[in-house]
């Protein structure tokens, strides 16, 4: 049969072991939390690095050539004056010349010349 002192020593050892297990569990939880924070920081740093590299690549890329604006001075066709003709609906109809009494005089005057 075990003595009282050996039982007390075993209980003390068990209590000590339980305290150590709790302390170790606390440390594991703290380490897991720090590891999670480190992973989050790493992800942010990698994104930041990627952004800086992209900006650097854009800054060092050769400038985009600007194409000159087209010359529009010759864009509109300018036909000769003789070739310019008004559409029929815009051409005025020849009318006889009227004197002060409202009488038609002379021949019709061609006003489309």
Express each pLDDT in 15-55 by its tens digit: 999 999 999 999 999 999 999 999 999 999 999 999 999 98
In the chain, the percentage of residues whose pLDDT exceeds 70 is 80
Average per-residue pLDDT in the chain?
82
Higher pLDDT: 12 or 113? It is: 12
Higher pLDDT: 73 or 103? It is: 73
- C-beta separation of 92 from 110 below 8 A: no
- C-beta separation of 93 from 110 below 8 A: no
Query: Looking at the DSSP assignment, which residues form a beta bridge with residue 104?
Result: 98
Could you tell me what percentage of the chain is helix, strand and coil, using 3-state DSSP and rounding each to the nearest 5?
55, 5, 40
Residues 57-76: what's their mean pLDDT?
77
Query: Looking at the DSSP assignment, which residues form a beta bridge with residue 97?
Result: 105
């Amino acid at each position: 049969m075990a003595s009282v002192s050996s039982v007390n020593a075993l209980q003390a050892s068990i209590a000590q072991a339980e305290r150590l297990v709790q302390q170790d569990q606390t440390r594991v939880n703290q380490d897991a939390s720090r590891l999670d924070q480190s992973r989050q920081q790493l992800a942010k740093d990698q994104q930041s690095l990627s952004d800086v590299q992209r900006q650097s690549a854009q800054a060092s890329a050769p400038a985009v050539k600007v194409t000159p604006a087209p010359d529009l001075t010759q864009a509109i066709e300018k036909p000769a004056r003789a070739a310019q003709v008004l559409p029929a609906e815009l051409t005025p109809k020849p009318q006889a010349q009227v004197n002060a009494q409202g009488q038609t005089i002379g021949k019709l005057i061609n006003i489309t010349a």
